[in-house]
């Protein structure tokens, strides 16, 4: 099996000796958390999901929305 692959269960497999949770999954988890709890200044409930979905979550705090702008030559 190749290193840095995703298995069907979502685990970010590295090698047989390394079976721990790895930060490769962190981007997905952060995205889903922000879809539920939103981000700083957000006033919408469950902003990342359609309004007719019944979304349940607990103990999440709004994430920090970071916007990166390219540098411009002035």
- Please state the domain extents for the chain: 1-66
pLDDT in tens, 23-44: 566 777 888 899 999 988 888 9
Residue whose structure tokens are 């000796």: 17
pTM for the structure as a whole:
0.57
pLDDT at 19: 63
Report the C-alpha gap between 34 and 15 in whole angstroms: 30
pLDDT in tens, 15-24: 777 666 565 6
């Amino acid at each position: 099996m190749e290193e840095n692959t995703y298995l069907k269960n979502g685990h970010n497999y590295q090698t047989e000796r390394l079976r721990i949770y790895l930060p490769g999954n962190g981007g997905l988890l952060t995205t889903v958390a922000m879809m539920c709890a939103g981000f700083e200044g957000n006033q919408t409930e469950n902003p990342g999901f359609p309004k007719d979905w019944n979304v349940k979550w607990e103990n999440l705090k709004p994430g920090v929305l970071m916007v990166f702008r390219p540098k411009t030559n002035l």
